[in-house]
Amino acid sequence: MEFMRQRIARDGRALDGNILLVDSFLNHQLDMDLMREIGLAFAERFQGAGITRVVTVESSGIAPAGMTALALGVPLVVFKKRASRITNGTVYQANVQSFTKNTQYEMTVSTKYLPRGERVLFIDDFLAMGEAALGAAKIIKEAGCELVGMGIVIEKAFQPGRKRLDDHGHEVYSLARIRAMSPDGIEFLHEIC
Amino acid sequence: MEFMRQRIARDGRALDGNILLVDSFLNHQLDMDLMREIGLAFAERFQGAGITRVVTVESSGIAPAGMTALALGVPLVVFKKRASRITNGTVYQANVQSFTKNTQYEMTVSTKYLPRGERVLFIDDFLAMGEAALGAAKIIKEAGCELVGMGIVIEKAFQPGRKRLDDHGHEVYSLARIRAMSPDGIEFLHEIC
Protein backbone atom coordinates (compact mmCIF):
# COMPACT_ATOMS: atom_id res chain seq x y z
CA MET A 1 0.00 0.00 0.00
CA GLU A 2 1.25 3.42 -0.97
CA PHE A 3 0.53 4.98 2.47
CA MET A 4 2.78 2.45 4.18
CA ARG A 5 5.66 2.75 1.72
CA GLN A 6 5.50 6.53 1.96
CA ARG A 7 5.62 6.46 5.74
CA ILE A 8 8.58 4.07 5.81
CA ALA A 9 10.40 6.15 3.21
CA ARG A 10 9.81 9.31 5.25
CA ASP A 11 10.32 8.12 8.84
CA GLY A 12 12.08 4.74 8.63
CA ARG A 13 15.85 4.48 8.83
CA ALA A 14 17.96 1.58 7.61
CA LEU A 15 20.94 1.15 9.91
CA ASP A 16 22.43 -1.30 7.42
CA GLY A 17 21.17 -3.88 4.94
CA ASN A 18 19.27 -5.75 7.64
CA ILE A 19 18.08 -3.50 10.44
CA LEU A 20 15.21 -1.07 9.79
CA LEU A 21 14.32 1.40 12.53
CA VAL A 22 10.62 2.24 12.57
CA ASP A 23 10.40 3.02 16.26
CA SER A 24 9.24 6.60 15.69
CA PHE A 25 5.85 5.48 14.36
CA LEU A 26 5.38 1.70 14.59
CA ASN A 27 6.81 -0.01 17.66
CA HIS A 28 8.05 2.40 20.35
CA GLN A 29 6.25 5.66 19.59
CA LEU A 30 3.02 4.64 17.83
CA ASP A 31 1.00 6.76 15.42
CA MET A 32 -2.48 5.43 16.19
CA ASP A 33 -4.03 7.06 13.11
CA LEU A 34 -1.56 5.04 11.05
CA MET A 35 -2.50 1.94 13.07
CA ARG A 36 -6.14 2.57 12.25
CA GLU A 37 -5.29 2.88 8.56
CA ILE A 38 -3.29 -0.38 8.76
CA GLY A 39 -6.23 -2.13 10.45
CA LEU A 40 -8.64 -0.89 7.79
CA ALA A 41 -6.30 -2.07 4.99
CA PHE A 42 -6.06 -5.60 6.43
CA ALA A 43 -9.80 -5.69 7.14
CA GLU A 44 -10.59 -4.64 3.58
CA ARG A 45 -8.28 -7.32 2.16
CA PHE A 46 -9.78 -10.13 4.26
CA GLN A 47 -13.38 -8.89 4.41
CA GLY A 48 -15.66 -11.65 3.18
CA ALA A 49 -13.21 -14.41 4.14
CA GLY A 50 -15.24 -15.28 7.22
CA ILE A 51 -12.52 -14.39 9.73
CA THR A 52 -13.68 -15.17 13.29
CA ARG A 53 -10.59 -14.01 15.16
CA VAL A 54 -7.36 -12.12 14.70
CA VAL A 55 -4.19 -13.37 16.39
CA THR A 56 -0.80 -11.75 16.92
CA VAL A 57 2.31 -12.05 19.08
CA GLU A 58 3.15 -9.64 21.89
CA SER A 59 4.06 -6.92 21.97
CA SER A 60 4.56 -4.89 18.79
CA GLY A 61 1.89 -6.82 16.88
CA ILE A 62 -0.82 -5.77 19.34
CA ALA A 63 -1.61 -2.29 17.97
CA PRO A 64 -1.94 -3.16 14.25
CA ALA A 65 -3.69 -6.47 15.03
CA GLY A 66 -6.03 -4.77 17.49
CA MET A 67 -7.10 -2.20 14.92
CA THR A 68 -7.67 -5.00 12.40
CA ALA A 69 -9.82 -6.95 14.88
CA LEU A 70 -11.78 -3.79 15.64
CA ALA A 71 -12.39 -3.16 11.94
CA LEU A 72 -13.47 -6.79 11.37
CA GLY A 73 -15.60 -6.90 14.53
CA VAL A 74 -13.88 -10.02 15.93
CA PRO A 75 -11.78 -10.71 19.06
CA LEU A 76 -8.01 -10.31 19.14
CA VAL A 77 -6.00 -13.12 20.72
CA VAL A 78 -2.47 -12.21 21.83
CA PHE A 79 0.06 -15.05 21.75
CA LYS A 80 2.46 -14.63 24.67
CA LYS A 81 6.21 -15.06 24.74
CA ARG A 82 7.20 -17.41 27.54
CA ALA A 83 10.70 -18.46 28.51
CA SER A 84 9.86 -22.08 29.20
CA ARG A 85 7.73 -24.92 27.98
CA ILE A 86 4.48 -25.59 29.85
CA THR A 87 3.33 -29.20 29.78
CA ASN A 88 -0.01 -29.18 31.60
CA GLY A 89 -2.18 -29.32 28.48
CA THR A 90 -3.93 -25.97 28.99
CA VAL A 91 -1.88 -24.17 26.34
CA TYR A 92 -0.60 -24.58 22.80
CA GLN A 93 3.07 -23.75 22.34
CA ALA A 94 5.63 -23.42 19.57
CA ASN A 95 9.33 -22.80 19.96
CA VAL A 96 10.35 -19.68 18.05
CA GLN A 97 13.84 -18.47 17.23
CA SER A 98 14.21 -14.69 17.07
CA PHE A 99 17.12 -13.99 14.74
CA THR A 100 16.90 -10.23 15.24
CA LYS A 101 17.32 -10.53 18.99
CA ASN A 102 19.29 -13.79 18.97
CA THR A 103 16.93 -15.34 21.51
CA GLN A 104 14.26 -17.98 21.53
CA TYR A 105 10.91 -18.22 23.28
CA GLU A 106 7.86 -20.43 23.59
CA MET A 107 4.96 -18.82 21.73
CA THR A 108 2.07 -19.62 24.04
CA VAL A 109 -1.72 -19.38 23.91
CA SER A 110 -4.40 -20.77 26.17
CA THR A 111 -6.39 -23.54 24.46
CA LYS A 112 -9.52 -21.69 25.62
CA TYR A 113 -8.93 -18.79 23.24
CA LEU A 114 -8.31 -20.88 20.14
CA PRO A 115 -11.28 -23.25 20.04
CA ARG A 116 -11.49 -25.76 17.17
CA GLY A 117 -13.02 -24.49 13.94
CA GLU A 118 -12.09 -20.80 14.18
CA ARG A 119 -11.09 -18.98 11.00
CA VAL A 120 -7.95 -17.10 11.92
CA LEU A 121 -6.12 -14.07 10.52
CA PHE A 122 -2.53 -13.70 11.78
CA ILE A 123 -1.16 -10.14 11.91
CA ASP A 124 2.40 -9.07 12.67
CA ASP A 125 4.52 -5.94 12.30
CA PHE A 126 7.47 -7.60 10.52
CA LEU A 127 8.17 -10.60 8.32
CA ALA A 128 11.85 -11.51 7.98
CA MET A 129 12.82 -15.17 8.57
CA GLY A 130 9.18 -16.11 9.10
CA GLU A 131 9.83 -17.85 12.41
CA ALA A 132 7.00 -16.19 14.36
CA ALA A 133 4.53 -16.67 11.50
CA LEU A 134 5.43 -20.36 11.11
CA GLY A 135 5.18 -20.88 14.88
CA ALA A 136 1.73 -19.29 14.88
CA ALA A 137 0.68 -21.41 11.88
CA LYS A 138 1.76 -24.57 13.71
CA ILE A 139 -0.29 -23.63 16.77
CA ILE A 140 -3.36 -22.68 14.71
CA LYS A 141 -3.24 -26.04 12.90
CA GLU A 142 -2.72 -27.96 16.15
CA ALA A 143 -5.81 -26.22 17.54
CA GLY A 144 -7.92 -27.46 14.63
CA CYS A 145 -8.44 -23.93 13.29
CA GLU A 146 -8.00 -22.64 9.78
CA LEU A 147 -5.32 -20.06 9.06
CA VAL A 148 -7.11 -17.99 6.45
CA GLY A 149 -4.36 -15.45 5.90
CA MET A 150 -1.41 -13.51 7.22
CA GLY A 151 -1.23 -9.73 7.24
CA ILE A 152 2.25 -8.22 7.55
CA VAL A 153 2.94 -4.52 7.98
CA ILE A 154 6.55 -4.59 6.72
CA GLU A 155 8.04 -7.49 4.78
CA LYS A 156 11.80 -7.75 4.34
CA ALA A 157 11.45 -9.35 0.93
CA PHE A 158 15.22 -9.97 0.75
CA GLN A 159 14.97 -12.46 3.61
CA PRO A 160 13.56 -15.99 3.27
CA GLY A 161 10.38 -15.62 5.37
CA ARG A 162 8.01 -14.88 2.50
CA LYS A 163 9.20 -17.85 0.46
CA ARG A 164 8.92 -20.17 3.46
CA LEU A 165 5.30 -19.07 4.03
CA ASP A 166 4.51 -19.37 0.29
CA ASP A 167 5.98 -22.89 0.30
CA HIS A 168 3.62 -23.81 3.15
CA GLY A 169 0.70 -22.50 1.08
CA HIS A 170 -0.09 -19.57 3.36
CA GLU A 171 -1.88 -16.53 1.98
CA VAL A 172 0.37 -13.56 2.82
CA TYR A 173 -0.57 -9.92 2.37
CA SER A 174 2.15 -7.37 3.12
CA LEU A 175 1.45 -3.64 3.23
CA ALA A 176 5.05 -2.79 2.30
CA ARG A 177 7.67 -5.10 0.79
CA ILE A 178 11.28 -3.99 1.03
CA ARG A 179 13.49 -5.29 -1.79
CA ALA A 180 16.74 -3.86 -0.41
CA MET A 181 17.90 -1.15 1.96
CA SER A 182 20.96 0.70 3.19
CA PRO A 183 21.61 3.95 5.09
CA ASP A 184 21.32 5.64 1.67
CA GLY A 185 17.77 4.55 1.03
CA ILE A 186 15.02 1.95 0.99
CA GLU A 187 13.88 0.24 -2.18
CA PHE A 188 10.39 -1.28 -2.37
CA LEU A 189 8.79 -4.02 -4.41
CA HIS A 190 5.77 -2.46 -6.09
CA GLU A 191 3.92 -5.42 -7.59
CA ILE A 192 0.55 -6.48 -6.24
CA CYS A 193 1.34 -8.45 -3.13
CA MET B 1 -17.72 3.33 35.05
CA GLU B 2 -20.72 1.05 35.03
CA PHE B 3 -19.76 -0.68 31.75
CA MET B 4 -16.42 -1.78 33.19
CA ARG B 5 -17.81 -3.02 36.50
CA GLN B 6 -20.51 -4.98 34.65
CA ARG B 7 -17.98 -6.63 32.36
CA ILE B 8 -15.71 -7.62 35.25
CA ALA B 9 -18.69 -8.96 37.21
CA ARG B 10 -19.79 -11.01 34.18
CA ASP B 11 -16.50 -12.30 32.77
CA GLY B 12 -13.86 -11.77 35.45
CA ARG B 13 -12.99 -14.53 37.88
CA ALA B 14 -11.31 -14.09 41.25
CA LEU B 15 -9.05 -17.07 41.92
CA ASP B 16 -8.63 -15.85 45.49
CA GLY B 17 -8.51 -12.54 47.34
CA ASN B 18 -5.61 -11.31 45.19
CA ILE B 19 -5.67 -12.75 41.68
CA LEU B 20 -8.32 -11.60 39.22
CA LEU B 21 -8.51 -13.37 35.86
CA VAL B 22 -9.65 -11.07 33.09
CA ASP B 23 -7.87 -12.87 30.27
CA SER B 24 -11.08 -13.61 28.37
CA PHE B 25 -11.60 -9.93 27.49
CA LEU B 26 -8.71 -7.73 28.64
CA ASN B 27 -5.24 -9.22 28.35
CA HIS B 28 -5.10 -12.51 26.44
CA GLN B 29 -8.26 -12.52 24.36
CA LEU B 30 -9.14 -8.85 23.81
CA ASP B 31 -12.57 -7.42 23.11
CA MET B 32 -11.60 -4.48 20.92
CA ASP B 33 -15.05 -2.85 21.18
CA LEU B 34 -14.51 -2.77 24.93
CA MET B 35 -11.02 -1.33 24.36
CA ARG B 36 -12.57 1.41 22.24
CA GLU B 37 -15.07 2.17 25.00
CA ILE B 38 -12.21 2.28 27.55
CA GLY B 39 -10.25 4.65 25.32
CA LEU B 40 -13.26 6.95 24.90
CA ALA B 41 -13.85 6.99 28.67
CA PHE B 42 -10.25 8.02 29.42
CA ALA B 43 -10.27 10.55 26.59
CA GLU B 44 -13.48 12.09 27.88
CA ARG B 45 -12.07 12.35 31.41
CA PHE B 46 -8.84 14.04 30.29
CA GLN B 47 -10.20 16.03 27.32
CA GLY B 48 -9.28 19.66 27.80
CA ALA B 49 -6.23 18.85 29.94
CA GLY B 50 -3.88 19.51 27.05
CA ILE B 51 -2.50 15.96 26.86
CA THR B 52 0.22 15.72 24.18
CA ARG B 53 1.04 12.04 24.53
CA VAL B 54 -0.21 8.85 26.12
CA VAL B 55 2.29 6.42 27.65
CA THR B 56 1.91 2.84 28.83
CA VAL B 57 4.00 -0.26 29.62
CA GLU B 58 4.16 -3.31 27.37
CA SER B 59 2.31 -5.42 26.77
CA SER B 60 -1.20 -5.50 28.22
CA GLY B 61 -1.38 -1.71 28.52
CA ILE B 62 -0.98 -1.26 24.76
CA ALA B 63 -4.56 -1.88 23.65
CA PRO B 64 -6.38 0.38 26.14
CA ALA B 65 -3.66 3.06 25.91
CA GLY B 66 -3.67 2.90 22.11
CA MET B 67 -7.42 3.44 21.96
CA THR B 68 -7.04 6.38 24.37
CA ALA B 69 -4.30 7.94 22.23
CA LEU B 70 -6.45 7.45 19.14
CA ALA B 71 -9.41 9.15 20.81
CA LEU B 72 -7.24 12.05 22.00
CA GLY B 73 -5.42 12.36 18.65
CA VAL B 74 -1.94 12.11 20.21
CA PRO B 75 0.93 9.58 19.90
CA LEU B 76 1.24 6.52 22.13
CA VAL B 77 4.66 5.81 23.63
CA VAL B 78 5.21 2.23 24.84
CA PHE B 79 7.65 1.86 27.74
CA LYS B 80 9.58 -1.39 27.28
CA LYS B 81 10.48 -4.00 29.86
CA ARG B 82 14.20 -4.71 29.72
CA ALA B 83 16.12 -7.20 31.81
CA SER B 84 19.16 -5.02 32.34
CA ARG B 85 20.18 -1.43 32.92
CA ILE B 86 21.41 0.54 29.90
CA THR B 87 23.89 3.26 30.71
CA ASN B 88 24.56 4.97 27.38
CA GLY B 89 22.34 7.98 28.02
CA THR B 90 19.91 7.37 25.16
CA VAL B 91 17.14 6.04 27.42
CA TYR B 92 15.35 6.81 30.66
CA GLN B 93 14.96 3.83 32.99
CA ALA B 94 13.29 2.92 36.26
CA ASN B 95 13.61 -0.33 38.15
CA VAL B 96 10.20 -1.88 38.71
CA GLN B 97 9.29 -4.77 40.99
CA SER B 98 6.42 -6.92 39.72
CA PHE B 99 4.81 -8.46 42.79
CA THR B 100 2.28 -10.45 40.74
CA LYS B 101 5.00 -12.19 38.77
CA ASN B 102 7.73 -11.98 41.43
CA THR B 103 10.18 -10.49 38.96
CA GLN B 104 11.77 -7.14 38.32
CA TYR B 105 12.58 -5.27 35.16
CA GLU B 106 14.00 -1.98 33.91
CA MET B 107 11.16 0.14 32.51
CA THR B 108 12.84 1.74 29.51
CA VAL B 109 12.00 4.49 27.04
CA SER B 110 14.13 6.25 24.46
CA THR B 111 14.79 9.88 25.41
CA LYS B 112 13.68 10.77 21.84
CA TYR B 113 10.07 9.85 22.53
CA LEU B 114 9.72 11.76 25.77
CA PRO B 115 10.98 15.24 24.90
CA ARG B 116 10.95 17.90 27.61
CA GLY B 117 7.68 19.74 28.14
CA GLU B 118 5.24 17.06 27.02
CA ARG B 119 1.95 16.73 28.91
CA VAL B 120 1.62 13.03 29.59
CA LEU B 121 -1.28 10.70 30.39
CA PHE B 122 -0.21 7.30 31.77
CA ILE B 123 -2.59 4.39 31.07
CA ASP B 124 -2.37 0.85 32.45
CA ASP B 125 -4.63 -2.17 32.74
CA PHE B 126 -4.11 -2.77 36.49
CA LEU B 127 -3.21 -0.81 39.60
CA ALA B 128 -2.20 -2.94 42.59
CA MET B 129 1.04 -2.02 44.40
CA GLY B 130 1.56 0.94 42.08
CA GLU B 131 5.11 -0.03 41.16
CA ALA B 132 4.71 0.39 37.39
CA ALA B 133 2.85 3.69 37.79
CA LEU B 134 5.49 5.07 40.18
CA GLY B 135 8.27 3.93 37.83
CA ALA B 136 6.59 5.70 34.94
CA ALA B 137 6.07 8.84 37.06
CA LYS B 138 9.77 8.89 37.93
CA ILE B 139 10.76 8.64 34.26
CA ILE B 140 8.26 11.30 33.16
CA LYS B 141 9.60 13.69 35.81
CA GLU B 142 13.23 12.94 34.89
CA ALA B 143 12.38 13.75 31.27
CA GLY B 144 11.11 17.18 32.26
CA CYS B 145 7.53 16.34 31.29
CA GLU B 146 4.34 16.82 33.25
CA LEU B 147 2.36 13.80 34.36
CA VAL B 148 -1.16 15.18 33.95
CA GLY B 149 -3.01 12.05 35.02
CA MET B 150 -3.16 8.29 35.29
CA GLY B 151 -5.94 6.19 33.79
CA ILE B 152 -6.35 2.70 35.23
CA VAL B 153 -8.72 0.09 33.85
CA ILE B 154 -8.96 -2.02 37.03
CA GLU B 155 -7.85 -0.83 40.44
CA LYS B 156 -7.38 -3.31 43.27
CA ALA B 157 -8.47 -0.78 45.88
CA PHE B 158 -7.58 -3.18 48.70
CA GLN B 159 -3.89 -2.93 47.77
CA PRO B 160 -1.67 0.08 48.57
CA GLY B 161 -1.07 1.36 45.01
CA ARG B 162 -3.81 4.00 44.98
CA LYS B 163 -2.75 5.48 48.29
CA ARG B 164 0.89 5.62 47.19
CA LEU B 165 -0.12 7.50 44.02
CA ASP B 166 -2.42 9.82 45.99
CA ASP B 167 0.42 10.54 48.43
CA HIS B 168 2.62 11.57 45.48
CA GLY B 169 -0.13 13.94 44.35
CA HIS B 170 -0.95 12.06 41.15
CA GLU B 171 -4.38 12.41 39.57
CA VAL B 172 -5.70 8.85 39.26
CA TYR B 173 -8.86 7.87 37.39
CA SER B 174 -9.89 4.20 37.60
CA LEU B 175 -12.70 2.77 35.51
CA ALA B 176 -13.41 0.03 38.07
CA ARG B 177 -12.28 -0.11 41.70
CA ILE B 178 -12.42 -3.46 43.45
CA ARG B 179 -12.96 -3.25 47.20
CA ALA B 180 -12.65 -6.99 47.83
CA MET B 181 -12.96 -10.25 45.95
CA SER B 182 -13.07 -14.01 46.39
CA PRO B 183 -14.17 -16.96 44.24
CA ASP B 184 -17.70 -16.19 45.49
CA GLY B 185 -17.83 -12.70 44.05
CA ILE B 186 -16.32 -9.30 43.36
CA GLU B 187 -17.27 -6.22 45.35
CA PHE B 188 -16.78 -2.77 43.85
CA LEU B 189 -16.31 0.71 45.25
CA HIS B 190 -18.99 2.86 43.68
CA GLU B 191 -18.06 6.40 44.69
CA ILE B 192 -16.87 8.86 42.05
CA CYS B 193 -13.26 7.94 41.45
- ipTM score: 0.96
How far apart (Å, rounded) are the C-alpha atoms in residues B89 and B94? 13
* Residues A67, A39: Cα–Cα separation, whole Å: 5
Interface touch B63/A62, C-beta < 8 Å: yes
Residue in A24, A28, A110 closest to B23 by CB? A110
Per-residue CA distances from B96 to A8, B66, B81, B141 (Å): 33, 22, 9, 16
- Put simply, the answer to whether A59 touches B62 (Cβ < 8 Å) is yes
Within 49-68 of B, beta carbons closer than 8 Å to A belong to 58-59, 62-63, 66-67
The partner residue sitting opposite A29, judged by closest CB among B23, B31, B75, is B75
- Give A169 to chain B, closest Cα distance, Å: 27
CB contact under 8 A, B35 and A110: no
* Interchain pair A59, B63: CB under 8 A: no
- What is the pLDDT, as a whole number, of residue B193? 45
Cβ–Cβ pairs < 8 A, chains A and B: 91
A142 and B CB contact within 8 Å: no
Contact A75 B29 (CB under 8 A): yes
Q: List the single residue in A23, A70, A112 with the smallest CB-CB distance to B32.
A: A70
Using the Cα atoms of residue B9, residue B14, residue B20 and residue B21 in order, give the sign of their dihedral: negative
Nearest chain A CA: its distance from B65 CA (Å) = 10
Distances (CA, A) of B89 to A74, B84, B93, B111, B144: 42, 14, 10, 8, 15
Phi, psi of A42 (to 5 degrees): -65, -40
Cβ of A28 within 8 Å of Cβ of B66? The answer is no
Average pLDDT over residues B51-66: 97
Question: What is the longest distance spanned by two Cα atoms in chain A?
Answer: 51
**Report field, pTM of the whole predicted structure over 0.90:** yes
Confidence (pLDDT) at A191: 62
Average pLDDT over all residues of chain B: 96
Mean pLDDT of B170-174: 98
For an interface test with B, the pick among A55, A62, A80, A113 (most B C-beta atoms closer than 10 Å) comes out as: A62
Residue B69 touches chain A, beta carbons under 8 Å: yes
Q: Which residue of A has its CA nearest to B75?
A: A31
Contact B79, B56 (CB under 8 A): yes
pLDDT in tens, chain A (193 residues): 999 999 999 999 999 999 999 999 999 999 999 999 999 999 999 999 999 999 999 999 999 999 999 999 999 999 999 989 988 889 999 999 988 778 999 999 999 999 999 999 999 999 999 999 999 999 999 999 999 999 999 999 999 999 999 999 999 999 999 999 999 999 999 865 4
